[in-house]
Amino acid sequence: MRVVPFGRTGEHVSEMCLGTMMFGDRCEEAESHRILSAAVEQGATFIDTAAMYCDGLTEEIIGRWLKDRRRDEVFLATKVHKGIDAQSILSSIDESLARLQTDYVDLYLIHWPVEGMQPARIMEALAQVVEQGKARFVGCCNYPAWLLAHSNAIAGENGWPRLVCNQVPYNLIERGVEVEILPQAYTEGIAITTYRPLVLGLFTGKYRPGEPFPAGSRADDDPRIEQWLNRFADAFTQFFAFAEARQIHPAQLAVAWLRGVSAVTSPIVGVSSFSQLQTSIDAFEVELSADDLRQLAGMFSPAEVQEIGGGRFPELRRIIDLTG
Protein backbone atom coordinates (compact mmCIF):
# COMPACT_ATOMS: atom_id res chain seq x y z
CA MET A 1 0.00 0.00 0.00
CA ARG A 2 1.46 3.34 -1.10
CA VAL A 3 1.40 6.42 1.08
CA VAL A 4 0.41 9.75 -0.46
CA PRO A 5 0.78 13.39 0.62
CA PHE A 6 -2.18 14.57 2.68
CA GLY A 7 -2.78 17.84 0.86
CA ARG A 8 -0.14 20.39 1.81
CA THR A 9 0.00 19.38 5.47
CA GLY A 10 3.39 17.68 5.14
CA GLU A 11 1.70 14.52 6.48
CA HIS A 12 1.38 11.29 4.51
CA VAL A 13 -1.55 8.87 4.65
CA SER A 14 -2.22 5.47 3.12
CA GLU A 15 -3.72 5.68 -0.34
CA MET A 16 -6.64 3.56 0.86
CA CYS A 17 -8.81 4.98 3.60
CA LEU A 18 -10.87 2.35 5.45
CA GLY A 19 -14.54 3.37 5.84
CA THR A 20 -16.19 2.06 9.00
CA MET A 21 -19.83 3.10 8.53
CA MET A 22 -20.98 -0.54 8.48
CA PHE A 23 -19.23 -1.45 11.77
CA GLY A 24 -21.90 -2.19 14.37
CA ASP A 25 -24.54 -2.11 11.63
CA ARG A 26 -24.08 -4.77 8.94
CA CYS A 27 -20.77 -5.88 10.45
CA GLU A 28 -20.54 -7.15 14.03
CA GLU A 29 -17.77 -6.17 16.44
CA ALA A 30 -15.44 -9.19 16.15
CA GLU A 31 -15.54 -9.00 12.35
CA SER A 32 -14.96 -5.23 12.48
CA HIS A 33 -11.86 -5.79 14.64
CA ARG A 34 -10.61 -8.43 12.20
CA ILE A 35 -11.05 -6.00 9.32
CA LEU A 36 -9.26 -3.18 11.15
CA SER A 37 -6.29 -5.39 12.08
CA ALA A 38 -5.96 -6.87 8.59
CA ALA A 39 -6.21 -3.45 6.92
CA VAL A 40 -3.53 -1.96 9.16
CA GLU A 41 -1.26 -5.00 8.72
CA GLN A 42 -1.44 -4.41 4.97
CA GLY A 43 -0.64 -0.73 5.29
CA ALA A 44 -4.15 0.77 5.07
CA THR A 45 -3.70 2.89 8.20
CA PHE A 46 -6.01 5.80 7.33
CA ILE A 47 -9.34 5.14 9.08
CA ASP A 48 -12.54 7.13 8.63
CA THR A 49 -15.41 7.12 11.10
CA ALA A 50 -18.11 9.47 12.43
CA ALA A 51 -19.90 10.13 15.70
CA MET A 52 -23.25 9.53 14.04
CA TYR A 53 -22.47 6.02 12.70
CA CYS A 54 -24.74 3.69 14.68
CA ASP A 55 -25.23 6.57 17.08
CA GLY A 56 -21.72 6.26 18.50
CA LEU A 57 -21.44 2.46 18.49
CA THR A 58 -19.04 2.48 15.52
CA GLU A 59 -16.62 4.76 17.40
CA GLU A 60 -16.92 2.53 20.49
CA ILE A 61 -16.05 -0.55 18.42
CA ILE A 62 -13.00 1.24 17.02
CA GLY A 63 -12.07 2.42 20.53
CA ARG A 64 -12.07 -1.12 21.93
CA TRP A 65 -9.73 -2.13 19.08
CA LEU A 66 -7.54 0.97 19.30
CA LYS A 67 -6.80 0.71 23.02
CA ASP A 68 -4.57 -2.34 22.41
CA ARG A 69 -2.67 -0.74 19.50
CA ARG A 70 0.01 1.86 19.19
CA ARG A 71 -1.96 5.08 18.68
CA ASP A 72 0.45 6.54 16.10
CA GLU A 73 0.03 3.44 13.93
CA VAL A 74 -3.18 4.87 12.46
CA PHE A 75 -4.35 8.20 11.02
CA LEU A 76 -7.83 8.48 12.49
CA ALA A 77 -10.58 10.78 11.23
CA THR A 78 -13.96 11.36 12.82
CA LYS A 79 -16.79 13.84 12.33
CA VAL A 80 -18.91 16.22 14.41
CA HIS A 81 -22.18 14.63 15.43
CA LYS A 82 -24.75 17.17 16.44
CA GLY A 83 -25.36 20.62 15.04
CA ILE A 84 -22.40 22.56 13.78
CA ASP A 85 -22.69 25.46 16.20
CA ALA A 86 -19.58 26.07 18.32
CA GLN A 87 -20.95 24.41 21.47
CA SER A 88 -21.87 21.23 19.61
CA ILE A 89 -18.41 21.03 18.05
CA LEU A 90 -16.73 21.40 21.44
CA SER A 91 -18.88 18.77 23.19
CA SER A 92 -19.00 16.37 20.24
CA ILE A 93 -15.20 16.03 20.09
CA ASP A 94 -15.02 15.13 23.80
CA GLU A 95 -17.71 12.47 23.37
CA SER A 96 -15.94 11.04 20.31
CA LEU A 97 -12.58 10.89 22.09
CA ALA A 98 -14.15 9.05 25.03
CA ARG A 99 -15.76 6.48 22.71
CA LEU A 100 -12.57 6.12 20.66
CA GLN A 101 -10.49 5.74 23.86
CA THR A 102 -7.87 8.20 22.66
CA ASP A 103 -6.69 11.71 23.52
CA TYR A 104 -6.79 13.02 19.97
CA VAL A 105 -7.92 12.36 16.43
CA ASP A 106 -5.70 13.10 13.47
CA LEU A 107 -8.49 14.74 11.51
CA TYR A 108 -11.72 16.30 12.75
CA LEU A 109 -14.37 16.93 10.12
CA ILE A 110 -17.59 18.89 9.86
CA HIS A 111 -20.01 16.22 8.59
CA TRP A 112 -22.52 18.32 6.64
CA PRO A 113 -22.92 22.05 5.97
CA VAL A 114 -26.38 23.39 6.78
CA GLU A 115 -28.27 26.45 5.70
CA GLY A 116 -27.82 29.39 8.06
CA MET A 117 -24.56 28.02 9.49
CA GLN A 118 -21.99 30.43 10.94
CA PRO A 119 -18.63 29.78 9.28
CA ALA A 120 -16.70 32.16 11.55
CA ARG A 121 -18.00 30.51 14.74
CA ILE A 122 -17.35 27.08 13.28
CA MET A 123 -13.76 27.90 12.35
CA GLU A 124 -13.18 29.45 15.78
CA ALA A 125 -14.49 26.33 17.54
CA LEU A 126 -12.38 24.06 15.32
CA ALA A 127 -9.35 26.22 16.19
CA GLN A 128 -10.07 25.60 19.86
CA VAL A 129 -10.22 21.85 19.27
CA VAL A 130 -6.77 21.99 17.67
CA GLU A 131 -5.44 24.37 20.33
CA GLN A 132 -6.56 21.91 23.04
CA GLY A 133 -4.65 19.12 21.29
CA LYS A 134 -7.80 17.12 20.55
CA ALA A 135 -7.31 17.14 16.76
CA ARG A 136 -4.18 17.54 14.68
CA PHE A 137 -5.97 18.74 11.55
CA VAL A 138 -9.48 19.93 10.71
CA GLY A 139 -11.51 19.55 7.57
CA CYS A 140 -15.02 19.20 6.21
CA CYS A 141 -17.28 16.89 4.28
CA ASN A 142 -19.68 17.77 1.50
CA TYR A 143 -18.59 21.43 1.36
CA PRO A 144 -19.09 23.26 -1.93
CA ALA A 145 -15.86 24.89 -3.13
CA TRP A 146 -17.00 28.43 -2.32
CA LEU A 147 -17.80 27.52 1.29
CA LEU A 148 -14.43 25.88 1.80
CA ALA A 149 -12.68 28.95 0.33
CA HIS A 150 -14.82 31.27 2.47
CA SER A 151 -14.08 29.27 5.65
CA ASN A 152 -10.36 29.21 4.94
CA ALA A 153 -10.30 32.95 4.24
CA ILE A 154 -11.80 33.47 7.72
CA ALA A 155 -9.21 31.12 9.20
CA GLY A 156 -6.42 32.99 7.39
CA GLU A 157 -7.61 36.39 8.68
CA ASN A 158 -7.70 35.13 12.25
CA GLY A 159 -4.63 32.92 12.29
CA TRP A 160 -6.76 29.79 12.84
CA PRO A 161 -6.04 26.35 11.33
CA ARG A 162 -7.42 25.94 7.84
CA LEU A 163 -9.63 23.12 6.58
CA VAL A 164 -7.14 20.75 4.97
CA CYS A 165 -9.50 18.11 3.61
CA ASN A 166 -12.88 17.88 1.89
CA GLN A 167 -14.62 14.47 1.98
CA VAL A 168 -17.06 14.13 -0.90
CA PRO A 169 -19.10 11.49 -2.76
CA TYR A 170 -17.32 10.58 -5.98
CA ASN A 171 -17.52 7.64 -8.35
CA LEU A 172 -18.29 7.04 -12.02
CA ILE A 173 -21.95 7.98 -11.46
CA GLU A 174 -21.74 10.83 -8.94
CA ARG A 175 -19.49 13.33 -10.69
CA GLY A 176 -20.84 16.74 -9.58
CA VAL A 177 -17.56 17.39 -7.74
CA GLU A 178 -15.69 17.55 -11.04
CA VAL A 179 -17.20 20.98 -11.76
CA GLU A 180 -15.61 23.01 -8.96
CA ILE A 181 -14.61 20.97 -5.91
CA LEU A 182 -11.85 18.87 -7.46
CA PRO A 183 -10.24 21.74 -9.43
CA GLN A 184 -10.27 23.92 -6.31
CA ALA A 185 -8.76 21.17 -4.16
CA TYR A 186 -6.11 20.40 -6.73
CA THR A 187 -5.16 24.06 -7.08
CA GLU A 188 -5.14 24.83 -3.37
CA GLY A 189 -3.58 21.59 -2.13
CA ILE A 190 -6.70 20.46 -0.25
CA ALA A 191 -6.77 16.70 0.40
CA ILE A 192 -9.77 14.99 -1.15
CA THR A 193 -11.14 11.77 0.32
CA THR A 194 -13.95 10.23 -1.67
CA TYR A 195 -16.79 8.21 -0.28
CA ARG A 196 -19.19 5.75 -1.97
CA PRO A 197 -16.52 4.48 -4.41
CA LEU A 198 -18.59 1.39 -5.21
CA VAL A 199 -21.94 3.21 -5.21
CA LEU A 200 -23.37 1.16 -2.33
CA GLY A 201 -22.06 -2.04 -3.94
CA LEU A 202 -23.35 -1.40 -7.50
CA PHE A 203 -19.82 -1.52 -8.91
CA THR A 204 -19.03 -4.89 -7.32
CA GLY A 205 -21.11 -6.71 -9.94
CA LYS A 206 -23.51 -8.25 -7.45
CA TYR A 207 -26.42 -6.26 -8.88
CA ARG A 208 -26.93 -6.92 -12.60
CA PRO A 209 -29.48 -5.30 -14.89
CA GLY A 210 -32.50 -7.63 -15.24
CA GLU A 211 -31.36 -10.08 -12.52
CA PRO A 212 -32.77 -10.57 -8.98
CA PHE A 213 -30.87 -8.77 -6.17
CA PRO A 214 -28.86 -10.80 -3.65
CA ALA A 215 -30.73 -11.23 -0.34
CA GLY A 216 -29.41 -9.39 2.73
CA SER A 217 -27.57 -6.66 0.80
CA ARG A 218 -27.83 -2.89 1.17
CA ALA A 219 -30.40 -2.90 -1.65
CA ASP A 220 -32.89 -4.10 1.01
CA ASP A 221 -33.14 -0.60 2.43
CA ASP A 222 -31.55 1.75 -0.11
CA PRO A 223 -33.75 2.49 -3.14
CA ARG A 224 -30.92 4.30 -4.98
CA ILE A 225 -29.36 0.94 -5.88
CA GLU A 226 -32.31 -0.08 -8.04
CA GLN A 227 -32.85 3.44 -9.39
CA TRP A 228 -29.24 3.91 -10.50
CA LEU A 229 -28.92 0.36 -11.85
CA ASN A 230 -31.94 0.96 -14.10
CA ARG A 231 -30.94 4.47 -15.09
CA PHE A 232 -27.40 3.45 -16.09
CA ALA A 233 -28.16 -0.11 -17.23
CA ASP A 234 -26.33 0.20 -20.57
CA ALA A 235 -23.29 1.83 -18.98
CA PHE A 236 -23.12 -0.90 -16.32
CA THR A 237 -23.27 -3.61 -18.96
CA GLN A 238 -20.31 -1.95 -20.75
CA PHE A 239 -18.45 -1.52 -17.46
CA PHE A 240 -18.81 -5.19 -16.46
CA ALA A 241 -17.74 -6.33 -19.95
CA PHE A 242 -14.66 -4.07 -19.73
CA ALA A 243 -13.75 -5.60 -16.32
CA GLU A 244 -14.24 -9.13 -17.58
CA ALA A 245 -12.15 -8.55 -20.72
CA ARG A 246 -9.22 -7.39 -18.54
CA GLN A 247 -9.89 -9.99 -15.83
CA ILE A 248 -10.14 -7.31 -13.16
CA HIS A 249 -12.77 -7.54 -10.41
CA PRO A 250 -15.35 -4.79 -11.12
CA ALA A 251 -14.93 -3.34 -7.60
CA GLN A 252 -11.20 -3.02 -8.22
CA LEU A 253 -11.83 -1.34 -11.56
CA ALA A 254 -14.12 1.25 -9.93
CA VAL A 255 -11.54 2.05 -7.24
CA ALA A 256 -8.67 2.07 -9.73
CA TRP A 257 -10.56 4.65 -11.81
CA LEU A 258 -10.79 6.94 -8.76
CA ARG A 259 -7.06 6.51 -8.13
CA GLY A 260 -6.45 7.77 -11.65
CA VAL A 261 -8.02 11.16 -10.85
CA SER A 262 -5.14 13.40 -9.79
CA ALA A 263 -7.18 15.50 -7.33
CA VAL A 264 -8.13 12.40 -5.29
CA THR A 265 -5.98 11.72 -2.22
CA SER A 266 -7.63 8.56 -0.83
CA PRO A 267 -10.77 6.71 -1.84
CA ILE A 268 -12.68 5.62 1.30
CA VAL A 269 -13.39 1.95 0.88
CA GLY A 270 -16.37 0.66 2.85
CA VAL A 271 -16.63 -3.06 3.60
CA SER A 272 -19.22 -4.96 5.58
CA SER A 273 -17.28 -8.25 5.86
CA PHE A 274 -13.71 -9.45 6.13
CA SER A 275 -13.94 -11.21 2.77
CA GLN A 276 -14.71 -7.90 1.00
CA LEU A 277 -11.58 -6.28 2.40
CA GLN A 278 -9.00 -8.11 0.30
CA THR A 279 -10.75 -7.31 -2.96
CA SER A 280 -10.65 -3.65 -2.04
CA ILE A 281 -7.03 -3.66 -0.90
CA ASP A 282 -5.94 -5.36 -4.11
CA ALA A 283 -7.57 -2.53 -6.09
CA PHE A 284 -4.61 -0.40 -5.04
CA GLU A 285 -2.33 -2.55 -7.19
CA VAL A 286 -4.40 -2.18 -10.37
CA GLU A 287 -2.91 0.31 -12.84
CA LEU A 288 -5.03 1.70 -15.68
CA SER A 289 -3.78 3.53 -18.75
CA ALA A 290 -4.93 7.06 -19.61
CA ASP A 291 -6.99 5.53 -22.40
CA ASP A 292 -8.67 3.07 -19.96
CA LEU A 293 -9.55 5.97 -17.64
CA ARG A 294 -11.10 7.95 -20.51
CA GLN A 295 -13.07 4.95 -21.77
CA LEU A 296 -14.50 4.24 -18.32
CA ALA A 297 -15.50 7.87 -17.74
CA GLY A 298 -17.10 7.98 -21.18
CA MET A 299 -19.42 5.05 -20.43
CA PHE A 300 -21.51 7.25 -18.12
CA SER A 301 -23.11 10.28 -19.79
CA PRO A 302 -21.28 13.43 -18.51
CA ALA A 303 -24.34 15.71 -18.39
CA GLU A 304 -26.31 13.19 -16.35
CA VAL A 305 -23.56 12.21 -13.92
CA GLN A 306 -22.52 15.78 -13.19
CA GLU A 307 -26.01 16.59 -11.97
CA ILE A 308 -25.79 13.78 -9.42
CA GLY A 309 -23.55 14.97 -6.64
CA GLY A 310 -24.97 12.71 -3.95
CA GLY A 311 -28.18 13.26 -1.98
CA ARG A 312 -28.69 16.90 -1.06
CA PHE A 313 -25.29 17.81 -2.44
CA PRO A 314 -26.32 19.69 -5.62
CA GLU A 315 -28.64 21.93 -3.59
CA LEU A 316 -25.90 22.67 -1.10
CA ARG A 317 -23.69 23.88 -3.89
CA ARG A 318 -26.14 26.70 -4.42
CA ILE A 319 -27.04 27.71 -0.85
CA ILE A 320 -25.49 31.03 0.06
CA ASP A 321 -27.54 31.94 3.11
CA LEU A 322 -24.96 32.02 5.90
CA THR A 323 -25.17 33.92 9.15
CA GLY A 324 -22.36 35.41 11.21
Ligand X SMILES: NC(=O)c1ccc[n+]([C@@H]2O[C@H](COP(=O)([O-])OP(=O)(O)OC[C@H]3O[C@@H](n4cnc5c(N)ncnc54)[C@H](OP(=O)(O)O)[C@@H]3O)[C@@H](O)[C@H]2O)c1
Closest approach, Cβ 101 to ligand X, in A, equals 19
Distance CA 165, CA 191 (A): 4
147, 253, 268, 281: residue in contact with ligand X (rule CB under 6 A) = 268
Closer residue to ligand X in complex, CB, 102/193: 193
What does 233-298 look like in DSSP terms, one character per residue?
Answer: HHHHHHHHHHHHHHT--HHHHHHHHHHTSTT-SEEEEE-SSHHHHHHHHHGGG----HHHHHHHHH
Tell whether residue 14 is a contact of ligand X (CB under 6 A): no
Per CB under 6 A, 280 contacts ligand X = yes
Please enumerate in sequence order all residues whose Cβ is within 8 A of that of 303, keeping only pairs 6 or more positions apart, or say none. none
Cβ atoms of 17 and 267 closer than 8 Å: yes
Tell whether residue 316 is a contact of ligand X (CB under 6 A): no
Residue 88 engages ligand X in binding (rule: CB under 6 A) = no
Residues 6+ apart with CB under 8 A from 1: 14, 15, 16, 42, 43, 44, 281, 284
21 is a site residue for ligand X (CB under 6 A): yes
Contact 32, 39 (CB under 8 A): no
The residue (of 127 and 200) whose beta carbon lies closer to ligand X is 200
Pick out residues in 159-198 that bind ligand X (CB under 6 A).
167, 195-198
Enzyme catalytic residues: 53
Q: What is the dihedral of CA 312, 264, 79, 163, to 10 degrees?
A: -100
The region of 81-89, 131-139, 268-276, 316-324 touching ligand X under the rule CB under 6 A is 268-276
CB of 253 to ligand X, least distance (A): 12
User: Of the listed pieces 36-44, 86-94, 172-180, 201-209, which binds ligand X according to CB under 6 A?
Assistant: 201-209
**Binding residue (CB under 6 A) for ligand X from 134, 218, 259, 317:** 218
User: Should residue 276 be labelled a site residue for ligand X when binding is judged by CB under 6 A?
Assistant: yes
Amino acid at 20: T
Q: Are 45 and 75 in contact (CB under 8 A)?
A: yes
Task: Based on the shown chain and the rule CB under 6 A, indicate whether residue 20 belongs to the binding site for ligand X.
Answer: yes
Q: Residues interacting with ligand X, by CB under 6 A?
A: 19-22, 26, 48, 111, 141-142, 167, 195-201, 204, 206, 217-218, 251, 268, 270-272, 276, 279-280
